[in-house]
Every structure is written in structure tokens, then in C-alpha cells.
Structure 1
């Protein structure tokens, strides 16, 4: 009897298991995405000798294509509105993405004359397949939890695991690419990543509880549309900011801060701030609203990026201390921004049609990321002093400040909406 009585309580007692399984699945998904980006950039610039402008254009256009794939998927699979339906779809998407990435990782074994073309084709193929994994798995933020508190908890786990996954891959990437047979090493790395992603996605599909479809229209249509508009606009702005920061950061680590803080250490410190702060942001929701949390998070990002400017001067010890503090503070702030925005979009998706809501949200984010990569590539190709640490720090600080001002303006505009998320 004890075993049979435990079954009805599955949705209530498996919240922790759901959170960590979702985190593992999201970590595997993040590894696939980061692997394609890291390797393709290296492949185009270092192996094929493509100029930064054209590399940026290719990668940026592939991200724009990824955003379009998200929108097409939303229209194609609009019937997958349940938690279990989305969980099954993301598992199938994991298999499709795994196959596409394995093809992408195999281009090093092709004749040199066709590697570039094959790389572009397989990259775009991966972007299309990835939509089948990304959109429904993100939709589970809204569909799988039983309440908004659990959605916030799931968001915190998601953000933390994703940051760890990106950092681990970035640190492992250099030794893999510097080996005597980088093509073989990368293919073996992708096999490992694919195995992890498939395991997480399949396990998530197996344990996701069925939730009754709650098409509750607690927010009027126009109010909900405005809420989504502001959330999406904020996500687009902050994606551009964080992408510029991430694209410039390796150059800053190499040419700025006296060369004392490596790219891996800097990225690791940013990730540590993101991971360690998720519990704090989650607990802060008890006493503060989303708008207040977003304000504090933006302030930390601005101060952290601003500290990079004085970090370019002084002795090595001072440079390392200020640089590490800047990275940690920026990571904490970025973690807070991600927490607020993804919690808000999960809450909005739970009100109805989560797949379409979150699919459009990710489409805009990927498009913004693509535009930012194209812009950075154009600046570097156009003669921007990418070996000047001070100029790089100024760019990162200015982009963060401008983005924060725009987001604050958006929160001010939507402050009067009674049902808006940021109130």
C-alpha cells in the first residue's frame, strides 16, 4: 500500500527531482549549442583563414536562421501544449540535434576544398534541428511546474547549470584544439557531449509529470500582449549586451589587464557569480518584486563592467584583484537579469500557449545575438583597436551601461500596467 499511495503524490514530491533533471537536460543542451559556436568560430578563422567580418556574418546569419526556425516550429507544432507532449518533442529534438552536430564535427575529415561549404551547411542544419530541442525544453519551464514558485526554482537551477556547462566547455576547448589531432579530439568531445545531452533529454521526458492544461485567461489579452512585448524587448537588449561582452572578453583577457587574467579564469569567475547568486535571487523574491530585483541586477552589471576600466592600470596584483571583482560582480548581475526575465516568461507562458510564447521569446533572443555578433565582427574588421585593453574595456562598459538604461526605461514605461510582470 505504501508504494501505491506514493504514486498520486508524484507531482508534489518529485519537484526536486524535476528541477535537477531539468537542469541536467538544460546543461546538456547548452553544451551542444556552445560546442557549435566555439568550434565554428575557430574553424573559420584559424583553419579556413576567413576574415573576422565574414566569420561574424556567417555565424550571425546562422543565428538569425535559428530564430526563424523557432518561429516556424511554433507554427508547426502548435498542438504540443502539454508538459508530456513538450517533453517528448524535446527528446526527439535531442536526437536530431545530436546527429546534426556529429555531422558538423566530422567536417575536419573532409577534403580542405569543401570544408568551409560543408561547415556552413551542417551548421545551419544544426541550428534547424536545435529548435526541436530548445523551444519545447524551454516551454517546460512554464508547463512542468505546478506553480510560479516552482517555476522560479526551476529557472534558478537552469541558469546555474547552464553557466557551469558553458564554462567547462570553454576551459576544455583550448586543450582539445591545441592537440596534435584537433579534428579527432573534437569529434570525440562531441560524442561525449551528445551522450550527455541525450541522457538528460530522455530522462526529462520520462519523469516529466502530466499537468492538466490550464488555459486560464487571468490577464486580459491586450495586457498580456504588452507584457510579452516588454519582456521580449528587454531580452533582446540584454542579449545584445551580454553577447558583445562575451565576444570582446577573450581579447580583453589577452591584451588587457596586463595579460594576468586568462580568458578561462575570467569566464569562470563570471560563471561563478551567476551560479552562486541564483539561490540569493530566488530567496530575494520573498521580499522584493521583479522590478526591484532587475534594478539591482542591472546596477551590478554596470558597476562590474565599469571596474574593467581601472583594471587596465596598476600592478599585476591590483589588476588581478579588480579584474576578478569585476567579473564576479558582472556575473552576479547577469545571473539576476536572467533569473528575472526567464521567470517572467515562464509565468507568462503558464497562462496559455507556452510553446508559442517561449518560442517567440527565444527567436528574438537568437536574432539579437546574431546581430550583435555581426556588429562586433564588423567593428573588429573595420580597424577597431582590439589589442588596446583600455578601448576594449570601454566598449564593454559602454554597451552594458546603454543596455541598462534602455531596460530601465522599458520598466518605467510598463510600470503602470496592473498585470505586468515587472511591477
Structure 2
């Protein structure tokens, strides 16, 4: 990551910022719709595979890992093949709407399988999942690429913060809906699945269509005199982009693992409904407000400072949670809230830094760049899914005296948080040595 990249207002880009102001809210709302698709798929695919195919936890983990890797590979292929078409926000908005329609319909088809009583439900479900993963790449990559095509540096950071808030709200919406599904009767559940997926489909398609209209309206508006000149297409992805892709891979071993295991830990280890629900709620709430809090606290600081401080905060929060047996249950809930807050800030920091790097030094590579970034995140999620399957395949994790749950949910975020900070320090030191050597050569 380039040292010293600061989040600051750029007067030279003021015209571009004003042009994107009208698109900012539709962009965030469309990201909420996209997040509903993603969170619903992540939450319920495992449930449907278990119900339809009666697969073991380990088998479900391997199947989900395969779909994550398939999705990551599709991200790279779509981003690489269409990178020239994703050089404008208008083109990205068109692609996103097309992908939203197909992926939303695929989700409705998948969630309708339990109610249709088909002769080959597993085959239909598998085909629906593959169609969904394929179409979702056309939603995800164009929407992410727009982050580097809208506004100036400071506006882009604010937009990255707002879209992660939208992601958090999407996760909360899906979590509430999943809870209603879990506690519903067997007779009502198939109908609720269809209703749930239909609402998500309508929100996703409508928000994507609105974004497309606003982007096209902005593209048709007369150019302002203060608008910046077209950027030169980069010859290759900058080294800072590759470093951020690696950080995304490492960082996604942190909060996702913790968040997935926390409900099991609350049920089998805490055995205190109030304490468990408070920890889960604060973790989710922290993820929603975290991006905005870190944006306000560290505004004006360099991108590497944002990432390093939030990653260390994730490690500290996980360690505090792990020590709650000795520190007392009073430390458990604040530690969960701090981890959610820090994870939200870490995600915002990486996304906004990546958007800045691609906007300044990766023009013409937006599609492939964001395809690689999301593929890195999904590779980590694939490994997480295998780990979860392995953990759940051994019934001993349910025993109150077993340390398996606590260790598995705290060690990955501690290691990942420290590793991200160490990588940044190493890269910063390497950049300083390179700069010193260049100065000596010039001297």
C-alpha cells in the first residue's frame, strides 16, 4: 500500500464530485439490495442443502467452499473479460441491473424448491445455486468498480463508509428474517421462503434500476467546466492494489469466523439468553456503525494508518473476548461490540484505500481489480466454510467445558489482525528504504 495516501478533498476534482452527489444515495441503496442477496445466500444455502440433501456438516462445508471458489473465479473472469466495458459508471450500472434481474430470479427459484415437491430437488437447487453465483458476479463487480468511478478522494472514502453501513443493515435485515424462518412451523416455512426471496428480489431489482436511471441521467448532463480531464489508462495494476488484495484475503479470516460461531457459543457455552443476545446484537450493531466511526476518528490520516489501527483493534477485541472467562462476563459484551466496530472500520479502510488506488493508478483495470479483490475475500470464506464444517462434525463442541468454540472463534481474528498490521509495517519500511536508495542515487 502506498505510504502517505491521505484522505483529503481535491479541489481539482470538484466538478466530478458534484456530478456524483446525485448518484451517491442510489448507489448506497443499490448496495443494500446487493447485500440482501449476498447475506441471504450465505445464511440459507447451508440450511437448504441440509434440508434437501441431508448432507453432513463437513459435506455442507465443502459444498459451500466450492461455491465460494466458483464465485471468486467468476469474479475474476467477469472482471477481466469486461474490464474495458467497466470504464464508466453508466456501463457498470447497466451490467449491474442485468445481473440483479437474473440473480434475484435464481434465488426465488432456489427458495421455491421446498414448496414445489419436485422429484429431483437437489438437482434443481444445485442448478439454481450455480446460476445465482454466475449472475451475482455481474452485480458485484460492476457495483464495486463504480467506487473508483464516482467522486473525489474524500467523497470516495465517505461512499465506502456508507456502503458498508448498507451492508450491515442488509445483514441485520436478513438475520431478522432468518430468525422468523427458523422459529416458523414446518408447514409455513416453504411459503415464508418464497415470500422472503421475492421481497429481496424486488428490492434488489428496483434499487439497481433506480441507480441505472440516475447514473445515465448524470452521464447525459452537460459537462461542467471544472470537470477533470480523462485519466490515462494504466499499463498494469499497481503494486499497492496487489497488496490490498492480500490484506483482504487475510482480513476475511477475522470477523466472519467470529460472527458465525458466536451464536453457537452463546447457546452451548454461555447458556445465558440475555448475555448471548446482547453480545450478538452489539457485534452486529458495531458492524453497522463501525465504518462511520472510524471514518470520523481517523479522517485525514493515511490509508495504511486506517487499516493498521482497525486491524489491531480487531485482534485486541478478540483477545478480550477470549479472556472473558477470567475477566468476567462483564467484559464479554463490550468485547463483542468492539470487535464489530473494529471489523467494520477494517472493511471500510481496505475498500476505500482500494478505490483510491484504482482511481489514481489503475484506470482501465477497474473490473479485473475488483474481481481479484472479491475473489480474495471469497477464498477466505471458502476456507472458513471448510473450517466450520470440520468444527461442527465433532459433537464435542457442544459440551460446556469444551474450549473448541472459544479457540476457533478468537484465534483467527487475533492472528489475522496482527498479520495485517505487520504486513503494513513491512511494506512501509520497504517503501522508505526504496525512497532512501533513490535519493542516494540521485545524490
Q: The TM-score by the shorter chain falls in which range? A: 0.7 to 0.9
Q: Distance in 1 between matches of 2:272 and 2:107?
A: 34
Give the structure 2 partner of residue 291 of structure 1.
Answer: 304
Q: 2:28 matched to which residue of 1?
A: 23
Cα distance in structure 2, aligned partners of 1:237 and 1:61? 19
Native 8 Å contact 1:74 1:355 kept in 2: yes
Of residues 140, 145, 169, the one that matches 2:146 is 140
Once residues 212 and 75 of structure 1 are traced to their aligned partners in structure 2, the CA distance between those partners, rounded to angstroms, is 26
Distance in 1 (CA, whole Å) between partners of 2:46 and 2:280 is 17
Secondary structure of residue in 1 paired with 2:120:
helix
TM-score, structure 2 as length reference: 0.84
Does the CA contact (< 8 Å) of 2:96 and 2:208 recur in 1? yes
1:257·1:313 contact (CA, 8 Å) conserved in 2?
no
TM-superposition CA deviations, 1:219-239 (whole Å, max 9, x none)? x95xx5321221111100111
In the superposition, relative to structure 1, how do residues 13 and 115 fare at CA in structure 2: closer, same or farther (>3 Å)? Answer: same
> How far 1:60 sits from its partner (Å)?
1.0
2-structure distance, mates of 1:363, 1:172? 27
C-alpha distance in structure 2 between counterparts of 1:266 and 1:65, whole Å: 33
Q: What is the match of residue 198 of structure 2? A: 191
The match for 2:108 among 97, 102, 105 is 102
* 3-state secondary structure, aligned to 2:254: helix
Matching residue within 146, 156, 163 for 2:161 = 156
1:313: how far off?
6.7
| Post-superposition offset of 1:263 | 6.5
Q: Cα RMSD over matched residues? A: 2.6
CA contact (8 A) 2:315 2:417 kept: yes
Q: Does 1:275 pair with 2:318?
A: no
Contact kept, 8 Å, 1:139 with 1:349, in 2: the verdict is: no
Residues 112 and 253 from structure 1, CA distance in 2 versus in 1: closer, same or farther, beyond 3 angstroms?
Answer: farther
Task: For residue 84 of structure 2, give the secondary structure of its aligned residue in structure 1.
Answer: coil
1:318-337 pair list within 5 angstroms? 319=329, 321-337=330-346
Contact in 2 for aligned 1:254/1:262 (Cα 8 Å): no
Within 5 A, what are the aligned runs for 1:398-417?
A: 398-415=411-428, 416-417=430-431
Is the Cα–Cα contact under 8 Å of residues 164 and 344 in structure 2 kept in the other structure? yes
d(CA) in 2 for partners of 1:73 and 1:264?
Answer: 40
| TM-aligned CA deviation for residue 150 of structure 1 | 0.9
Report the Cα offset of residue 383 of structure 1: 5.7
- Whole-angstrom CA distance in 2 between matches of 1:231 and 1:35: 27
Distance 2:19 2:280 in 1: 33
Which of residues 368, 374, 377 is equivalent to 2:389? 377
| TM-score normalised by length of structure 1 | 0.88
Provide the C-alpha distance between the structure 2 equivalents of 1:78 and 1:391, rounded to a whole number of angstroms: 44
Task: Count the aligned residue pairs.
Answer: 404
Structure 2 unmatched ranges of 5 or more: 1-13, 220-226, 435-443
Alpha carbons of structure 1 residues 36 and 113: separation in structure 2 relative to 1, 3 Å? same
Deviation at 1:100, TM superposition (A): 1.1
Residue ranges of structure 1 left out of the alignment (5+ in a row): 1-8
Q: Which residue of 2 aligns with 1:119?
A: 125
Match of 1:392 among 405, 419, 424: 405
- Residues 241 and 102 from structure 1, CA distance in 2 versus in 1: closer, same or farther, beyond 3 angstroms? same
Partner of 1:64: 69
Aligned pair partner of 2:212 in 189, 198, 205: 205
Name the CA distance, whole Å, in 2 between partners of 1:112 and 1:251: 33
Cα 1:310–1:21 change in 2 (3 A) is same
In structure 2, C-alpha distance between the alignment counterparts of 1:78 and 1:15, rounded to whole Å: 21
Q: Which has the higher contact order (CA 8 A, sep 6+)?
A: 2
